[in-house]
Structure 1
Amino acid sequence: MNKKHHFLAFFLLVFCGNIFAQDSKAPATNFNVEFESYTLDNGLKVIFHIDRSDPVVAVALTSHVGSAREKEGRTGFAHLFEHLLFLESENLGKGGLDKLSARIGGSGANGSTSRDRTNYFQTVPNDALEKMIWAEADKLGYFINTVTEPVLAKEKQVVKNEKRQGVDNRPYGHTMAVIDHHLYPEGHPYQWQVIGSLEDLQNATLQDVKDFYNQWYVPNNVTLTIAGDFDTAQAREWVEKYFGEIEKGEEIAPLEKQPVVLQKTKKLYYEDNFARLPELTMAWPAVYSYHPDSYALEVLAEYLSQGQNAPFYQSLVDEKQLTSTVRMFNYTSELAGQFMLQVRAYDDKDLDAVHTAIEETFRKFEKEGISEKDLKRIKAGQETSFYNSLSSVLGKGFQLAQYEIFANDPGFINTEVGKILAVTSEDVMRVYEEYIKNKHYVATSFVPKGQPELSLENSSEAKVEEEEIVMGAEEEFDLEEVVDYERTPSSFDRTVEPAYGPSPVTNVPEIWKDSLSPAGLEIFGITNSEVPVVQFQLEMKGGLLLENPEKIGVSNLLAEMMTKGTANRTPGELEEAIQLLGATISVNAGDESIVLRGSTLARNYNETMELVKEIILNPRWDEEEFNLSKQEVLSSLQQQEGSPNNIASREFRKVVYGENHILSNDILGNKTSIENISLQDLKDYYYSYVVPNVSTYFIVGDIDRDETAMAVLDLVQDWETKEVQFPELPTPQIPEKPKVYFYDVPGAKQSVLQLGYPALAETHHDFYPATIMNYRLGGGGFASQLTQELREGKGYTYGIRSSFNGSKLPGPFSISTGVRTNVTFEAVSLIKEILAKYPENFNEEDLEVTKGFMIKSNAREFETLGSKLNMLRNVSNYDWANDYVKQQEETVQNITVEQIKELAEKYLNPNNMYYVIVGDAETQLERLKEIGLGDPVLLNE
């Protein structure tokens, strides 16, 4: 669980936990990440990795403690502690790392907790490295005295809001809790969830917190990783100075492995208040992290479930049409593991039919196994994913820490690819027979309310902790209370913040451009050889903008169909060709464009572009695939009806743009429009609008200009140009007075708030100054007033943000958050008050923090391949100069407090906004009438 957002990609959480076991069959690779490591006298492990590509450093502090080290009745402690550790320490003072991060231009102090470890991390300009080492040491050795009863009470509310947001108030949110409770036996540390229970969180005492800190947050249980552009000798001195005198803790014995053996199959069902479709989840006991069988289990999961050629896709999706997607993954942790399969079925499908199809597919796999070609394509994709995960200094630093803690050797980073490539088809079949075939499992059926008959036969009802909505039930706290404490002694004055080092110079990547006539397609590129990977995008302008209002959803369906085969290849053949290259190619439709995105090993770029050409120029127009795609979209629309967050976004879009504006529509369309769309509609759109003269090609990575140009020239020489007329759009109207819209979700544990109005285009002269103005309001994370007031001050929410969103077209200003249900009125009132006072309250200190962050953070602006692609899109789409970041720096440097106040007066009037609220009308609707925004309009009476 994360402090701010779900930071870790699925690859890092699941795949990278399985890559440590040594295998003599592993082929050699040329990939190498250099590092040095050492241990302080107090047991702190330190790892350095040098990367000179950008003037930044990533600093991560990882403690070998997660929910598995908790006690029953005190669950959720590791995660609660992760939150607490950001708040304050003796020498950083109030605001801790969050406040520091804003001043030094950091990526934002963040953290995550798993079953087995908790980490704290961010990337900062390299002139702030000593500050970060000082700050991280303060957290480890000079923190616990600052935790008081009010601080603990407030943070309990924040964590409980996180649980409501991520578990209680979303479809299928309780699935893993039910699975783990029945997969692991009584007393097993994986039986409870990382976030814990609401009751346990509420019962946590201040002494519990201190005991936890003193046991686990000691140097000999922690790894410090520093990766990026820095001097290692100087860093060693700083690490010794700030960490060296922190006392070593008691020796911590490693936990024994605790694999699970089920004595019988367990089936459970639950009627989910938010689910609109039935979902089956199955879990088999499997292997712990770095077990030799983990690699083959990864391949097994991917082969059976991912893509058009997967046996489960062919059976459940294509043949029996029970679902649009089958997920399977190998979820490993330090002590044990579980092999997971999940199917969200179509409306009214009986999960017994799904289960029967799963069993049939297993039997077929037992006869046929996995081919060498399938094995090759899967391993090629895993190799590409590995390189992509290391494209940032934080990615490399994070991985080095993981290896150190769980494999006792950060050098595993240089052997992983070989281990992936060593898996054989015999290995895959062996692990299937050992862990899956005819083995006991846990199966959960999460079904819509009132439809228990869709559950697996002979299922028992699962017990799920449901929170009752009670007004005024939350614990009160006073954060203004002054608390004296005895400071932890030190050999030097730690209250003195270290000075900055030499100022970094932002490395603006060199852009090259080509224009291919007469096709009219432009190419924008950046060559970067840090990893042997290329990422590219082909952006074709149009998307929703060019759709018939009677048939919304055409561009999305067309995008879906473009990778479902070509005139020369079936869907399965196309997918296989892509994957054999270690590539990915996807096509997605948006409001203003259809975008083809690709990633491939650099050595396979030309072959990948041959497939891109085939996709763009030779669509398949398969009627059966078209019908499957329509069914999938209809299913997605139905699922959205169970998600308060999706409902809020949809309804906000409607009120902001107005009924007759094309952008008021969901890109997916709606039930009526999808049913009315024919395959001919897709053809008409394709032949009219998918043309090179409204397209742009972006590429970054280990590739040169000439090779790129030749490959793209080969694409456009047979691509016909056509004139495309873009429609004139009405200007969305700012409301003359505030309007409140309420969407009722009975029993909602949170109210989702989205408020704002139609504001500015990205090309408007006020747009960038407005984003500067918004930083301290809600764009600066923990540096923002909205976060400080609603989360840190009141404990109403887990997170809140505000932003201006535009393109060449005006987009909305919006504020979005989820608050606990029983403070809906209070939260809206407080947001309204903050908006009203912001122009008068903004001061020189706010401006200093804003300038510090927005200028210094430019050192991180172009670090990853993805950020470089975004740079190219900005230069192309908005006609910005290649060094636009330097021009923006000048704007920030010159802006004044008075200018900020004027912008806030102009663009932040709470009485000219729409307020969309999705929550429990029975308990909250009447109260909102008293807020002074007019009577709420109930949207779904």
Structure 2
Amino acid sequence: MFKIKVVTKPKLKHIMKKIQSLSLYLFICVSISSYSQNEKSKDFKVDFEKFTLKNGLQVILHVDRSDPVVAVALTSHVGSAREKVGRTGFAHLFEHLLFLESENLGKGGLDKMSARIGGEGANGSTSRDRTNYFQTVPKDALEKMIWAEADKLGYFINTVTEPVLAKEKQVVKNEKRQSYDNRPYGHTNSVISKNLYPETHPYNWEVIGSLEDLQNATLEDVKNFYNRWYVPNNVTLTIAGDFDVIQTKSWVEKYFGEIKRGQDIPKMEKQAVSLTTTKKLYYEDNFARLPQLTLTWPSVYEYHPDSYALEVLASYLSKGKKAPLYKTLVEDKKLTDAVDIYQYNSEIAGQYMLSVTAFEKTNLNAVMNGINEAFKDFESKGISQQDLDRIKAGQETAFYTSLSSVLGKGFQLAQYEIFAGNPNYITQDVKNILAVTTEDVMRVYQKYIKGKNFIATSFVPKGESNLVLSESKLATVVEEKIIEGKEDSFDASIVATYDKTPSSFDRSAEPAYGESPDVKLPKVWKSKLSSGLNLIGIENYEVPLVQFQLQIKGGMLLEKSTQIGVSNMLADLLTKGTKNKTPEQLENAIESLGATIKAYSSDEGIFISGSSLAKNYKATAALVQEIILQPRWDTKEFDLIKQSTLSQVQQQKADPNSIARNEFKKLVYGNESILSHNRIGTEKSVESISMDDLKSYYLLNGSPSVSNFQIVGAVSENEVIKSVSSLNKEWKSKEVLFPKMPAANVVTASKIYFYDVPGAKQSVIRIGYPALAATDTDFYPATILNYRLGGGGFASQLTQQLREGKGYTYGIGSSFSGSNNKGPFSISSGVRSNITFEAVSLIKEILNNYGKNFNENDLDVTKGYLIKSNAREFETLSSKLDMLYNISNYGYTDAYAKEQEDVVKNISLANVKVLSDKYLNADKMIYLIIGDAETQLGKLEQIGFGKPILLNESATK
């Protein structure tokens, strides 16, 4: 829903870059079953072709015919590091602007075209060092995509006007409020960057930039930035998927070839930083309910030789039961439920970060003491070869997991080209990973961590500065003041007038479709075992990987209303050891296979999901069986889980989006329904839950008769049946009684509910009502109805009017969600605080007029997208697993995707209008706003639904 992304979160960057950078090429490589210190790394070969146009554009092609789709990515080697002090945030601003319009694509740009061609949704992201634009489309739209990307690169800047710039400034401001200002710990990275990097260093500011710089940006500034950095000789185009290479080369030359080369781009020199002293800073966070300590050390740039050992060090110190930090802070001292260490390595420098969110009222000095104890333990023991091998085994499976997406492959080709100088760097990259030794791990610890200066940030709840690290100084944080009526006004509908950029051919003519892709539905096999366990699977041999999930129906539905949270805690406990394996032994057994096994709960079920290399599937399945048949019921782990759950409950009280989700459930389902509860429970319910409650729930409700095993990957039906044969014999079947769900609330008249979060920079909006179950005849037609309202991203009216037209929000969407029980229709958004009334009024107006104004063009766009997008419907293993879930639970046929396609083809304009009248009545909905009551509550009575109902009286001023 929220299309434009700023890659600024170190943890996200760390995870994605490592997984993508090491997995992409392995699908054509030999499988590595084990690692040893003396094993020679193997050379890997990747099938790609690279060439350069005369204007400097780098082009990389990678053919993958596994699905009838193509991913196109345009990566510009410009991020926030290329900006100047006083003009920060420009790279990210451009990420937004390039989607809006270009000379030949017209207003709406690639977003508008994406809706017609069945694209995944044009998207983009910005980091310190690069900006990329990407989309996966059916292969018949490849020429259209090449045409469109070339238009964005070479024929864009004339379309940017003062009103367009003013509007997009508002959108970016809303993004900053949503991602930084209106969430717990949102300012942490800013404080770290300002204190780790000198003012002259290009990593001193955040990718999103400062609001002041953004506000001061002029049209001339924007054009200068574009002309300097958005030139072919600073851009890499990657195309990955099912396409004809010769034809594609011809198209690339035609559409990109005559775009003028820019000035030469200087190479960014490495700029490592060092600290002459440790800096301790603190901040009282309006949205935090728990204290958080983050330590940051200067580290190394991306692909630095030491980065590989540092990655292993991060995993060993913090991940899993054996991790020194886990043992000390979580198990022994019980100060937190998790510790995380991660690298945030960029092109010219890097940082090594350790983060701990402690339990309520915990003094962060105690956390720091625990960290030092854990470090001393590591110094004395080091890392064993067995643990090193275990960590590398996990990396192997992670590599394969990202292979089923052609987009991920295209991303990484560009990554190596830009930051390593050659896509073929995969050979050296993998050698470096396999070459890490136990001595290397200790060496980098001593070189970068032990006794070194660092930045320490203590973020604590308001009024709890007594919890901060001793000798900490108040951090400088720039808080935006939102003033009523002070935002810039603009008219985004004004059309730009300009002389079109000359071209050797008519670029205004959109290319025709290629040959329509033949969508093949995966072949599904099914088997019902004697115990009642249902097996359903898809064989897929694109990569040597298996993904699976065991679904035990029930979840919160089978809980007592006074003890909500039992199934959630049970799911957490299931993977914490077995009768014959301690929690640590089970974890080691899973990781040594390079597998993952996780358990979690939902409102309606408990799931044990996992993945493994195909060769290790049998052993992985045996561990799943052991988890189910021989639970450990470890009291120490139970206590840790209870404390962790209580912390989650406390954290959610401070997060406006969590508040909105939980309050909306109450209003939609009503007090009589178990579904009205937050499934992790309340402080009172969690405190009341005992180990016996978990055992009783599992004894009564854990049965193969209400379970489905869904599996996809490089394993046959017979192999799967054999792998669960013992489970089938030993897991005793029993009758599980599901309570009858009370009828969902019927909203007879709209009311406005308000939850006060004093000082909120944004208002979080939820609008909706109890609507449909996934099994209802109208459910899929209702999702068709919703596409142009809010389900189609930038093709939707809500986005076009609230974001593109008014700049009120960073993102807004709507959906029908349901299961075997009725789920809600809902509209979700976060808007800047001082236009809450205007935003709600506009949403109400859109709902009132949607059915009346829905026309043939809306229908054509809807049909075009939903039909063509089927080409990429089942591209990844995860999407195939979702397909099996739908078939297992809702009585859908194996060919339901084709059947839904027929529904789309046959739906008429009259049908849509009838559906709109039936399901989109703005006067029969719940309107929930989470925001600052002092400034926003009073005006909402003017909406026309009476005086708003305040849900938390104690928070009012």
The question of 1:613 aligning with 2:613 is answered no
CA contact (8 A) 1:55 1:860 kept: yes
List runs of 5+ in structure 1 lacking aligned partners: none
- Which of 276, 287, 300 pairs up with 1:263? 276
Structure 1 counterpart SS, 2:258? coil
The question of 1:738 aligning with 2:750 is answered yes
CA contact (8 A) 1:111 1:118 kept: yes
Displacement of 1:32: 4.7
Structure 2 counterpart SS, 1:15? helix
Counterpart of 2:244?
231
Counterpart of 1:159?
172
CA contact (8 A) 1:17 1:332 kept: no
Letter in 2 for 1:686: Y
1:455-480 deviation digits (Å, cap 9, x = unpaired) = 00000000101011200111000123
Counterpart of 2:4?
4
- Which of 871, 874, 887 pairs up with 1:875? 887
1:117-165 deviation digits (Å, cap 9, x = unpaired) = 0000000000000000000000000000000000000000000000000
- Structure 1 CA distance, aligned partners of 2:917 and 2:39? 64
Counterpart of 1:215?
228
Structure 2 counterpart SS, 1:875? helix
CA contact (8 A) 1:19 1:295 kept: no
Counterpart of 1:701?
713
- Structure 1 CA distance, aligned partners of 2:222 and 2:356? 40
- Which of 558, 572, 597 pairs up with 1:546? 558
CA contact (8 A) 1:19 1:420 kept: no
Within-5 A mapping of 1:276-315: 276-315=289-328
Displacement of 1:336: 0.2
Displacement of 1:684: 0.4
- Structure 2 CA distance, aligned partners of 1:454 and 1:489? 64
1:332-384 deviation digits (Å, cap 9, x = unpaired) = 00000000000000011000000011011101100000111111111111111
Counterpart of 2:731?
719
Letter in 1 for 2:195: H
Change (3 A) 1:913 1:158: same
The question of 1:359 aligning with 2:372 is answered yes
- Structure 1 CA distance, aligned partners of 2:314 and 2:779? 46
707-716 vs 171-180, which deviates more?
A: 707-716
Change (3 A) 1:2 1:13: farther
- Structure 2 CA distance, aligned partners of 1:535 and 1:16? 17
CA contact (8 A) 1:14 1:332 kept: no
1:256-284 deviation digits (Å, cap 9, x = unpaired) = 00011110000000000000000000000
Counterpart of 1:899?
911
Letter in 2 for 1:640: Q
- Structure 2 CA distance, aligned partners of 1:339 and 1:907? 51
Displacement of 1:390: 2.1
Displacement of 1:16: 5.5
Counterpart of 1:15?
18
Counterpart of 1:427?
440
Q: What percentage of residue pairs aligned between the two structures are identical?
A: 65
Q: How many residues align?
A: 938
Within-5 A mapping of 1:410-559: 410-413=423-426, 416-517=429-530, 519-559=531-571
Counterpart of 1:274?
287
- Structure 2 CA distance, aligned partners of 1:800 and 1:32? 43
Change (3 A) 1:734 1:133: same
- Which of 573, 577, 584 pairs up with 1:561? 573
CA contact (8 A) 1:158 1:795 kept: yes
Within-5 A mapping of 1:536-935: 536-935=548-947
1:419-439 deviation digits (Å, cap 9, x = unpaired) = 322211111001000000000
Displacement of 1:752: 0.1
- Structure 2 CA distance, aligned partners of 1:810 and 1:735? 14
Structure 1 counterpart SS, 2:923? helix
Displacement of 1:18: 7.8
The question of 1:317 aligning with 2:351 is answered no
Letter in 2 for 1:711: S
Change (3 A) 1:830 1:804: same
1:60-108 deviation digits (Å, cap 9, x = unpaired) = 0000000000001111110001000000000000000000000000000
Displacement of 1:525: 1.1
1:610-655 deviation digits (Å, cap 9, x = unpaired) = 1111111111111121111111000000001110000000000000
The question of 1:398 aligning with 2:401 is answered no
Question: TM-score, with normalisation over the residues of structure 1?
Answer: 0.98
Change (3 A) 1:59 1:273: same
Counterpart of 1:35?
48
Letter in 2 for 1:355: M
Structure 1 counterpart SS, 2:772? coil
Within-5 A mapping of 1:344-383: 344-383=357-396
Structure 2 counterpart SS, 1:390? helix
The question of 1:144 aligning with 2:157 is answered yes
Counterpart of 2:29?
none
Counterpart of 1:326?
339
Counterpart of 1:196?
209
CA contact (8 A) 1:18 1:289 kept: no
- Structure 2 CA distance, aligned partners of 1:416 and 1:928? 57
126-135 vs 372-381, which deviates more?
A: 372-381
Counterpart of 1:84?
97
Letter in 2 for 1:352: N
CA contact (8 A) 2:44 2:426 kept: no
1:512-532 deviation digits (Å, cap 9, x = unpaired) = 112211x11111111112222
Change (3 A) 1:611 1:594: same
- Structure 1 CA distance, aligned partners of 2:898 and 2:844? 35
CA contact (8 A) 2:5 2:126 kept: no
Change (3 A) 1:19 1:862: closer
Change (3 A) 1:634 1:392: same
Counterpart of 2:33?
none
Letter in 2 for 1:4: I
Letter in 2 for 1:40: L
CA contact (8 A) 1:744 1:921 kept: yes
CA contact (8 A) 2:750 2:923 kept: yes
Structure 1 counterpart SS, 2:498? coil
Displacement of 1:747: 0.3
CA contact (8 A) 1:44 1:220 kept: yes
CA contact (8 A) 2:184 2:654 kept: yes
Structure 2 counterpart SS, 1:430? helix
Root-mean-square deviation (CA, aligned residues, Å) is 1.6
499-508 vs 473-482, which deviates more?
A: 473-482
Change (3 A) 1:228 1:6: same
Structure 1 counterpart SS, 2:767? strand
Displacement of 1:413: 3.6
CA contact (8 A) 1:14 1:331 kept: no
Letter in 2 for 1:224: L
CA contact (8 A) 2:20 2:402 kept: no
Question: TM-score, with normalisation over the residues of structure 2?
Answer: 0.97
Letter in 2 for 1:391: S
Letter in 2 for 1:378: I
Displacement of 1:395: 0.8
Letter in 1 for 2:58: K
Change (3 A) 1:26 1:57: farther
Displacement of 1:53: 0.9
Letter in 1 for 2:785: M
